[in-house]
Structure 1
């Protein structure tokens, strides 16, 4: 009997150790990605290799399409041109947020012209021209379709002058939407990570116990160009521009479906001598998700003065719900303080936002939403004792979980 009990105890302990070992190994990332609290100290001007990191993240196939290489097989990527401005007569508001397709998925062109929204669906693969084969400068491009009209959509980058060129044009018809803009970048970008890392946290996946990490840069500037919309006419347009370049990976290498990368609130604000860019990712359940905390990253540029400052010490809060109606950013940086309020005048998706993404692993019954806001930001920023009044345009992206933002409109100022 004693021998039986001894063996039973031995097998029970051994089984428990095996279970613990399996659990421990499951928590270790399959690829050792390095995560840091912030990369906003980087002020490098993006190179063509940052734009399209061949040999690190991508390889160029014989047909010039881009493919992920090891260890980025589970990554997804973004090439997004954002702009917000006016027609030359000042009578029409133009917004575009055009995402070229992920390498194995879809992308979409979104153009707002006043209250009208025009969409062009884009399809992978994504192609690359290093310059000279089709395009003058290094370019990523793809193809799409809208109302039976086929399109080619491209983003080019001329590193020497920090020139971004974004073109949407019909392939076979002259009766389609056309957009041709040139954007001149200014000031320092906001970096979330270089292609080789270390990386920062983008959001918390909702279906599996993993997080989305990314390498990314935002390059702000101003644009001028032409927009043609059938039935409405052709317009000279100009305004604010930012190019968003990012590569996303699941930290632990979990297989899809991963769900929605929730919680990130990302904001860019611009006026004549100001670019403010932030990313804020609060932990939605710190009592459960103990490995990660809340993260804030930011940068402030005063381009006419050739000044740029890191801006990680801030708090973001808003009116709550799936769709924010008012936003606040309050914080400090090396030379002053920031106190801004944003009020949206347009949204994507337009109309009602609902809590849609269900099945959140850390919160039974909770839901998530995603959308973008286009806002007017007002308030003050101080710089070495000078008070700068802000009346600026802004674009923000919201990845939200029901009840998870730690501040609301009624919160006390930090």
Structure 2
């Protein structure tokens, strides 16, 4: 018994260490760009990072969520075949997008950074899928190693190099190193999955009927997933539109500190519990209620503790940036962190609804969060600036979190049979 317990403790410790590294590196990179490039460049980087989250949600059609849910307990042959069909569709979409970016640069004189951004988006899309695949295969250590390569390792190499070599202090260098980290993560997955039945899957050819059926099945999840991601990323574009690139850079710096907390909770708590919550729903009402309640309590506690720690560290580090605009709006950081705590709790409720196959209800709450957030930002940003951005997160996700809690714990009676 001691052996498995010790092994589990070591795995959890390694995951937390990698997640902490990603949290520190992403926040450190935002601070580095704000200090050694400028806040407007940080704003542009934030917009590129937002695209790397929004575009995969748009292109993916919600298929990976259906594939991963069906893959729990299924043979690898089925998973490999489904991923073959899904990734073929995704690659075709990105080939068109990449060709468009190349033509825009060559014929219209667009910034060549657009090609780099598209390439980053492609490998970030695959990388996000890989993390879900490995997590659902209950290989969280490898999933987090993949995330570490994409979110931390390249930053650990880039930042010292750019500090020593000023010519590397450009968005082109940042995006190029990000792309290298994402490619390395993909190669790691290719190596670790080399014994999977890929050859047999690709030898049989695409299954268009399955793909069409799954696209239809994923319709509700697609709208839900897209609205969920949009509710996390659209705010930076709205802030840019109302307040300009410089304050968008300040907002992205604060958001990076808050989002590090969200990432830590997502990978350290939510993603680990996701397959277990799915199984708990299949096992019956009592098991599901207990697992969902524990998940939501753990999520809230972890978010509060990590949010407080992030606030303390940020207050110590922000003066080192020597950016007056950052110091002038530091109070907005607390509101944004509070909003992330509330959002994490709402995300735990969304995961419970997903595990219980309440896709329609989950979609409705995601859309409500998006509409509420956009409406609150349009109302508050012109009057209160960056403080309004944080307050909008608290208000929109606070309402949704309470609604989801009611839905989750009233869910078994509404869902009918749990078999």
TM-score, normalised relative to structure 2: 0.28
More strand by share: 1
More helix by share: 2
The structure, 1 or 2, with the larger RCO (C-alpha pairs under 8 Å, 6+ apart) is: 2
TM-score, normalised relative to structure 1: 0.28
Q: Which protein shows a greater Rg?
A: 1
